[in-house]
Structure 1
Amino acid sequence: MNNTLFALLYTLAVGGAWLLSLPFLLLFSFKEKYRRSIPARFFLWRNPPLPEGRVWFHACSFGETRALKPLLEAFEKDAALTVTTQTGCDEGKKLLETVRYLPFEPLLWFWVRPQKALVVMEAELWFLLFYLAKRKGAKTLLVNARISDRSYPRYQKFAWLYRRIFAHIDEVFAQSEADKKRLEALGARRVTVTGNVKLANLPEASRRYEKPGGLVVTAASTHEGEEEGVVAAFVAFRRRHPDAKLLVVPRHPERFGKVAALVARQAREAGLSFSRWSEGRSLAADIVVVDAMGELVNLYAVSDIVVLGGAFAPVGGHNPAEVIPFGCRLVSGTKIFNQRAMFDAVEGPLFCELSELEAALERALEAPPLRLKTPVSLAPILEGVRDVV
């Protein structure tokens, strides 16, 4: 089947799914989390096409958008950015003037304009995105490409589709040799291992807070099912370290209220003081729930131990590298299947189950700070884009 016919049949299939999902999309568009993204992505509301002749970058969410910062800065005058989520959009607007939401695939036929290059972060492998960008003359690159242990079997089931997608990608920059082999097995060409782009631009604190007295433990990016066990472990740990404080930073804003109520109850039962960050921006209480976005790195700067969430529950883990500039010890759960490459790139993390966290906190007191094994160079990616700029 030739590319044009496949693209038309593919459009009919995903377009049908779009039509069937319209009632649900309208319903979800009233939720705060999707109030801007759904109208923009699925109905093109206040979402005009990018100006022509740009270096078009695309990232999904907050972390991927932030990781693009050095690349966006390198092509600032020519760069434009699309994102998928509201958090990604908010972060993108801090870095660049021209930011849009990426429309759902069938709408790309009416939206994509000729660009110099399309640079896509990680696993945003949308067929029509690459097909239409390439058709309109863009050089296409996939950067920071990864396929996790857990997701690879799912990719293999749809290998026929990924071969079609990779046929329209000129260059691929993979996180690791294992990723390179998996990508090539799915049809990727010209694959170069450059390491993880997220490690090329380690963060700095945007605000400086006074460090509380005593040991500061930050439970970062926690998910459903993690907070209760983390607080219980900390309460037991604090019996031997009475000056210790705990900062709990939930991953998703919509859970702030629920987490605050849960942690407040546990603190009360343990005879510890509790506060919410939003009520006074204070770190004075024994346990603080930080119910705000964009503060995590600032809190790392006043932390001694970081307990990184998303790996005690079966979420797949989060990026450990943001801890590195601040000399913290890191404790993680074992379910890091989405971040294995990131953890492979750092030295010093401690791993445990949630039931073992109290003992892991004790071990962390004697552990070395987290550190990077090897630096990452963006030079091959920059060279690949500069070919057409």
Structure 2
Amino acid sequence: MAIWLYRVLCGAAWILLALPLLYLSTKPKYRRSIPARFFPFVRVFTPRSSGFCKDFCPHIWLHACSFGEIKSLEPIIQALATPTRNILLTTTTQTGFDLAQSSYTSEPTIRVEFLPFEIFLPFYARRLKQLQALVVTEAELWLELFHTAKALGAQTLLINARISTRSYPKYRRFRAFYRVLFSYIDRVFAQTQADTDRLSTLGARNIHIFGNLKLLSPIHISHTYPKPKNRLVIVAASTHRGEEELVLQAFSALKKVDSSKMDSACGLESPKTQKMDSSLLILAPRHPERFDEVSTLLESSDFSFTRFSQSDLTHCPPSDIQVILLDTLGELNNCYVIADIVILGGAFVPAGGHNPLEPAFFGTKLISGEAIFNQEALFACIDGYTLCKPSELESTLLAHQSLPHSSYKHAQASLSTLIQAITTHKD
């Protein structure tokens, strides 16, 4: 009865939101994801969407929300991939889909798709008849997704499971719904003990504390860039709207200190030297659709800047360039290598913070905001970071010489344990 009521509610929601969704699909960010997920049988919108799992019978189904979660699945996919095992990898965002496509498009046993909205999943059940296991990451709690997998006789796992302190009250308000949902999940691998406690109150069972999945992923760099000599390199990573202004304000204060030190060291006889700036800021907005917006912000500022896509970092940037706008995905780790300081965004606004493991791996001085409620488990895996309020960012950056270097704690989670859980079939 509960599943049928849920289907009715999802159907009603789809009817009410169809027109707004069609409008959103005109935006570049949603141009492919919304039609594929919410209008899968309308060929004028999604000519290939009716091919969801067409001519492809998956044995393992992995689902993750976006770019970061897809990336965290890499070691699992590598361990699971065999010539005789078909793997379906689904996501809900364009950035996640693009990463999955670029990573696995040449693999004949791996299919990448957008996850269809709940009301459409039963229509694809016949194409999933060989499904042995469904593995879902973090908080992607879709009732029909788990119900469909269980109806097919597959085992179901929720991995990297977490519920933040901030979001827990919202989950509790709907705990009757989550008790139904968790009845279709066989095993849960939680990030922390706190997550385990919260999940158990919502009806989760067979919970194991595993740690964060991202601890299993090796830290890679794709290019090696020379570190500018005699320049302090600051990377402002994964910033959100409103955070770029904070970073630029703090960087401006630091630049004034730099200029003052140069005046003291060089005197006033060399105007050319006074224009030299000893600090370089690499500014990396979180969302690609904001690159142009941040570029406009920089154009209206007093900083000399260039876009990464229009520059050549194989040579050190000219000393008169003060800011580089990182407008290319996949380059953050390469920039962390040459960074002295990383200002990690998403926590000076209530976005929940971002992954601190990569900058900590390279031993940078790491600064972030206090709103890290989505990343508490990851911050617990590193030492030597500094959290501050937005109003304190400027003073914190000015005191950078006294800040500690971050360090990376190696994973205790076992990949083999997880693979065994996924591939061991229950009767």
Shorter chain as denominator, the TM-score bin is over 0.9
Q: 1:223 aligns with which of 240, 247, 251?
A: 240
Q: Is the 8 A contact 2:133 2:423 kept in 1?
A: no
Determine the C-alpha separation between the residues in 1 that align with 2:236 and 2:63.
30
Counterpart for residue 261 of structure 1: 296
Q: Does 1:211 align with 2:247?
A: no
Counterpart of 1:43, as a letter, is F
Counterpart for residue 49 of structure 1: 52
Q: What does the per-residue CA deviation read over 1:138-164, in whole Å, with 9 as the maximum and x for residues that have no partner?
A: 110000000000000000000001001
Q: Does 1:91 align with 2:99?
A: yes
Q: Secondary structure at the match of 1:20?
A: helix
Determine the C-alpha separation between the residues in 2 that align with 1:239 and 1:322.
30
Counterpart for residue 27 of structure 2: 31
Q: Secondary structure at the match of 1:184?
A: helix
Per the TM alignment, residue 92 of structure 1 is displaced from its structure 2 partner at its CA by 1.1
Q: 1:143 aligns with which of 132, 150, 159?
A: 159
Q: Does 1:297 align with 2:314?
A: no
Counterpart of 1:100, as a letter, is E
Counterpart for residue 354 of structure 1: 390
Root-mean-square deviation (CA, aligned residues, Å) is: 1.6
Determine the C-alpha separation between the residues in 1 that align with 2:295 and 2:408.
34
Q: Is the 8 A contact 1:350 1:364 kept in 2?
A: no
Q: Secondary structure at the match of 2:338?
A: coil
Determine the C-alpha separation between the residues in 1 that align with 2:423 and 2:18.
40
Q: What does the per-residue CA deviation read over 1:67-88, in whole Å, with 9 as the maximum and x for residues that have no partner?
A: 0000000111322200111110
Per the TM alignment, residue 364 of structure 1 is displaced from its structure 2 partner at its CA by 3.5
Q: Does 1:382 align with 2:413?
A: no
Determine the C-alpha separation between the residues in 2 that align with 1:80 and 1:15.
25
Determine the C-alpha separation between the residues in 2 that align with 1:265 and 1:71.
45
Gaps of 5+ in 1: none
Per the TM alignment, residue 374 of structure 1 is displaced from its structure 2 partner at its CA by 4.6
Q: What does the per-residue CA deviation read over 1:103-140, in whole Å, with 9 as the maximum and x for residues that have no partner?
A: 00000011241311000000000000000111111110
Counterpart for residue 119 of structure 2: 106
Determine the C-alpha separation between the residues in 2 that align with 1:152 and 1:281.
46
Q: Is the 8 A contact 2:360 2:366 kept in 1?
A: no
Determine the C-alpha separation between the residues in 2 that align with 1:374 and 1:254.
34
TM-score, normalized by length of structure 2?
A: 0.86
Counterpart of 2:113, as a letter, is R
Counterpart for residue 364 of structure 1: 400
Q: Is the 8 A contact 1:204 1:325 kept in 2?
A: no
Determine the C-alpha separation between the residues in 2 that align with 1:94 and 1:278.
19
Which 10-residue stretch deviates more, 85-94 or 370-379?
A: 370-379
Determine the C-alpha separation between the residues in 2 that align with 1:42 and 1:366.
52
Q: Is the 8 A contact 2:215 2:410 kept in 1?
A: no
Determine the C-alpha separation between the residues in 1 that align with 2:312 and 2:150.
49
Counterpart for residue 132 of structure 1: 148
Q: How has the CA–CA distance of structure 1 residues 162 and 281 changed in structure 2, closer, same or farther, with 3 Å as cutoff?
A: farther
Matches within 5 A, 1:144-293: 144-213=160-229, 214-241=231-258, 242-266=277-301, 268=302, 272-282=303-313, 283-284=317-318, 285-293=321-329
Q: How many residue pairs are counted as aligned between the two chains?
A: 381
TM-score, normalized by length of structure 1?
A: 0.94
Q: Secondary structure at the match of 1:365?
A: helix
Counterpart of 1:146, as a letter, is R
- Percent identity, aligned pairs only? 46
Determine the C-alpha separation between the residues in 2 that align with 1:376 and 1:221.
27
Q: Secondary structure at the match of 1:82?
A: strand
Q: How has the CA–CA distance of structure 1 residues 249 and 330 changed in structure 2, closer, same or farther, with 3 Å as cutoff?
A: same
Gaps of 5+ in 2: 41-45, 259-276
Counterpart of 2:73, as a letter, is L
Counterpart of 2:424, as a letter, is D
Q: Is the 8 A contact 1:230 1:354 kept in 2?
A: no
Determine the C-alpha separation between the residues in 2 that align with 1:334 and 1:94.
34
Determine the C-alpha separation between the residues in 2 that align with 1:80 and 1:376.
28
Q: What does the per-residue CA deviation read over 1:334-381, in whole Å, with 9 as the maximum and x for residues that have no partner?
A: 111111111112111101122212322244334333223352322321
Matches within 5 A, 1:55-70: 55-70=60-75
Counterpart of 1:243, as a letter, is S
Q: What does the per-residue CA deviation read over 1:152-179, in whole Å, with 9 as the maximum and x for residues that have no partner?
A: 0000000001001110000000000000
Determine the C-alpha separation between the residues in 2 that align with 1:221 and 1:18.
32
Counterpart for residue 354 of structure 2: 318
Determine the C-alpha separation between the residues in 1 that align with 2:102 and 2:143.
29
Counterpart for residue 10 of structure 2: 14
Which 10-residue stretch deviates more, 99-108 or 340-349?
A: 340-349
Which 10-residue stretch deviates more, 360-369 or 336-345?
A: 360-369
Q: Is the 8 A contact 1:222 1:250 kept in 2?
A: yes
Determine the C-alpha separation between the residues in 2 that align with 1:264 and 1:39.
35
